[in-house]
Chain A
């Protein structure tokens, strides 16, 4: 039976992981549909995902995490899924955490975030990344009044209204983070957070290292201001 939940896995050069991640998801969530967004991989991620029996959205070139997620959300929206869950393809998320997030959407929330900081015994990342999260979590609180502990979380459940917002052409498409939450708040979405366990990922292309961390922080602060002070049309497209 179709559960009306779509699992979106943005994947960039994850050919080696995707099979296992999908197998585990199928095991825990047999009723959900899975779509893998291949973000311009060069290692045959599309073939690996297709071999695992997933629908693949093969981006013709690398667009970046946010745009890959957005492509998956567009897919979910066009096929009328009630809940779209974004799930990292590198195996750092636990499929068991999907159910509570999907339940939040069914109970009326528009956007449910999985937070590693609410989960006991979860991997939390290095000191720098943690510090960054505290900064953005604080800024989100200042700008929206929402207490969100883990704004960068890649594990999110989106109801129909959140899908519509995330699918807008002008939606932050680099690494949607606190700026996405500010927009969600301005669009009057109901945002909730639930604990989610994270495992250390074996991600080769972590985006928060070295000078990139500085550039990221700067860009995110700008993006936050844009999200907070943007025009009303940003929310309609």
Chain B
């Protein structure tokens, strides 16, 4: 990989990592979700420094050029990530529903006529 490319992509990866760390520091990103993002940033850096890993992966999977391996992995990663979000959204939906029902039931208790048993 030409040095020019290396420097460019390394700086992108470092900026990404810095943004992640800053988000955690400001508590905008929960720590338990952030390891995934840190891992992503580190993987990018590793792939830049060790381009031969990508070449080896390309040969192993039978792909022709490293670029397609990279795109395949990225798309797979993004797909898994959104699947993960769907799972979390489903959980949240259920939790919000349960909470809303609970709030409504408590309000019903509060406003119920007192002469009821």
Instruction: Give the segment of B35-43, B53-61, B67-75, B93-101 that binds chain A.
Output: B93-101
Give chain B nearest CB distance to A176 CB in angstroms. Answer: 13
Set of chain A residues within 8 Å of B112, measured between Cβ atoms: 55
Whether the pair B105, A57 counts as a contact (CB closer than 8 A) is yes
Interface positions, chain B 82-117, Cβ under 8 Å from A, are 94, 97-98, 100-101, 103-105, 107-108, 111-113, 116-117
Give chain A nearest CB distance to B18 CB in angstroms. Answer: 38
Whether the pair B108, A70 counts as a contact (CB closer than 8 A) is no
Set of chain B residues within 8 Å of A37, measured between Cβ atoms: 104
Set of chain A residues within 8 Å of B94, measured between Cβ atoms: 169-170
Interface residue count on the A side (C-beta < 8 Å) = 22
Q: A63 to B103, alpha carbons, bound, how many Å?
A: 13
Residue A139 interfacial (CB < 8 Å): no
Whether the pair A57, B117 counts as a contact (CB closer than 8 A) is no
Give chain B nearest CB distance to A184 CB in angstroms. Answer: 20
Q: A170 to B108, alpha carbons, bound, how many Å?
A: 23
Whether the pair B111, A71 counts as a contact (CB closer than 8 A) is no
Q: Which of A63, A75, A173 contacts B108 (CB 8 A)?
A: A75
* CB closest residue in chain B, given A61: B100
Whether the pair A74, B100 counts as a contact (CB closer than 8 A) is no
The 4 closest A-B pairs by CB, nearest first: A71-B101, A57-B108, A57-B104, A59-B104
